[in-house]
């Protein structure tokens, strides 16, 4: 079983049109008081004309990142086995999944949920996926939880064939998705190699645009060039001074260091520095930065370094909290000049022995 998602063409709308008219497939939808043209309360089915399907298509397709719809396919089956979708409803992305009746009970829902999460969080970078599932759909709730969803306190009461039904909200956030996905035990930290440079440069540019959008002039950030950074890392810096964090053969973070032969500071014990440390923005705060930071600290200690220094933009409070958590002591303030603009910098010291 190999599951994948595919956005349908207009010529493929008949699949959805057909299973929406199938009482067995739509039984979960029966009994509700839904004000929707074509909805049959007795069966849960929804009947749509060809013209209505085209109108629906134009409203749903090519609306990413905040609206997404796709058919679910199994490599071994020629027709789609169901559908997944999500849409922005006020401030939350609600989702749904439908498996054709004849394909239920075969594990498709779980695998399709994983594929939808990948699209939502890795491709479209949305914040969460949520659904409200009636408590009597025990199997569905178990499947969602297996796919990483967690129950919230939100409950919704509705009448189904005149009887009260209670549904609970299940939600998965982007942060929890990446936390579940990333196995830090598989993280490798090593010296950078020549073929890492493009990934390093991309992380640098994306990192600046993500972290400094409210600190540095946006025109400067927008004009940053990956090719220019590739040139810098290829020609200005030694790969011996760059360490990369690698996960599944992909560079997900890096740190560039500097060693002082003789102290250039009034504190004569300062003999090393972290000049850059960045993690791919979509997987920040997952523990990678901490692993990379500690690796470099231990490297300096093993080389009998005494005191490490680093600087950070004064207004970059998230990074400052991280550096303080890692044991840094606030030292002094200075400025960094970028295109004739002065930006306040604060520095932190780390005793290594």
Q: How far apart are CA 309 and CA 266, in angstroms?
A: 12
- What pLDDT was estimated at residue 128? 96
- What pLDDT was estimated at residue 260? 87
- What pLDDT was estimated at residue 1? 62
- What pLDDT was estimated at residue 263? 63
For the segment 169-199, what is each residue's pLDDT rounded down to a tens digit?
Answer: 999 999 889 888 778 888 999 999 999 999 9
R_g (Cα) of the chain, nearest Å? 26
Lowest mean pLDDT among 5-14, 129-138, 261-270: 261-270
For the segment 70-97, what is each residue's pLDDT rounded down to a tens digit?
Answer: 999 998 899 999 999 999 998 999 999 9
- What's the whole-number mean pLDDT along residues 110-115? 94
Provide the mean pLDDT of the chain.
Answer: 93
Q: Band the pLDDT of 166: cuts 50, 70, 90.
A: very high
- What pLDDT was estimated at residue 248? 84
- What pLDDT was estimated at residue 56? 96
- What pLDDT was estimated at residue 145? 94
Domain 3-180 and domain 182-351 have a common topology: yes
Q: Band the pLDDT of 268: cuts 50, 70, 90.
A: confident
- What pLDDT was estimated at residue 2? 83
- What's the whole-number mean pLDDT along residues 58-74? 96
For the segment 222-267, what is each residue's pLDDT rounded down to a tens digit?
Answer: 999 999 999 999 999 999 999 999 988 999 999 999 998 766 666 6
**Residue ranges of domains in the chain:** 3-180, 182-351
Count CB atoms within 10 A of the CB of residue 227.
Answer: 10
Please provide the distance, in angstroms rounded to a whole number, between the alpha carbons at the two ends of the chain: 55
Distances (CA, A) of 182 to 69, 148, 191, 261: 26, 13, 21, 38
The vertex-343 CA angle with 341 and 347, nearest 5°, equals 150
Residue with tokens 């005191």: 307
**Topology of the domain covering 182-351:** Aminopeptidase (3.40.630)
Question: Is the domain 3-180 a CATH 3.40.630.30 member?
Answer: yes
The better pLDDT of the pair 283, 255 is held by 255
Q: Band the pLDDT of 287: cuts 50, 70, 90.
A: confident
- What's the whole-number mean pLDDT along residues 289-293? 95
Is a pLDDT exceeding 90 seen at residue 54?
Answer: yes
């Amino acid at each position: 079983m190999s599951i994948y998602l595919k956005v349908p063409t207009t010529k493929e709308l008949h699949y959805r049109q057909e299973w929406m008219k199938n009482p067995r497939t739509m039984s979960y939808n029966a009994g509700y008081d839904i004000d929707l043209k074509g909805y049959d309360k007795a069966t849960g089915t929804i009947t749509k004309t060809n013209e209505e399907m085209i109108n629906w298509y134009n409203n749903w397709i090519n609306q990413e990142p905040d609206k997404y719809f796709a058919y679910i396919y199994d490599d071994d089956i020629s027709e789609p086995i169901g559908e997944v979708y999500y849409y922005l409803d006020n401030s939350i992305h609600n989702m749904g999944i439908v498996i054709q009746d004849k394909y239920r009970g075969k594990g498709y829902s779980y695998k399709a949920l994983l594929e939808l999460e990948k699209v939502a969080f890795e491709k479209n970078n949305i914040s969460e996926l949520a659904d409200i599932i009636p408590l009597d759909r025990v199997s569905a709730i178990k499947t969602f939880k297996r796919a990483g969803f967690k129950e919230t306190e939100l409950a919704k009461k509705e009448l189904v064939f005149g009887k009260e039904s209670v549904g609970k909200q299940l939600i998965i956030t982007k942060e929890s998705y990446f936390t579940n996905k990333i196995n830090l035990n598989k993280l490798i930290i090593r010296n950078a190699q020549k073929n890492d440079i493009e990934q390093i440069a991309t992380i640098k540019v994306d990192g600046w645009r993500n972290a400094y959008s409210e600190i540095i002039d946006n025109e400067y950030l927008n004009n940053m060039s990956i090719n220019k950074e590739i040139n810098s890392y290829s020609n200005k810096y030694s790969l011996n001074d760059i360490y990369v964090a690698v996960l599944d053969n992909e560079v997900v973070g890096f740190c560039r260091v500097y060693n002082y032969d003789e102290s250039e500071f009034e504190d004569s014990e300062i003999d090393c520095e972290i000049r850059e440390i960045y993690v791919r923005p979509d997987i920040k705060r997952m523990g990678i930065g901490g692993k990379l930071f500690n690796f470099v600290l231990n490297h300096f200690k093993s080389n009998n370094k005494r005191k490490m220094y680093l600087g950070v933009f004064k207004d970059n409070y998230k990074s400052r909290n991280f550096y303080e958590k890692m044991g840094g002591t606030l030292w002094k303030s200075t400025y960094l000049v970028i295109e004739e603009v002065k930006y306040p910098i604060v520095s932190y010291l780390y005793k290594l022995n």
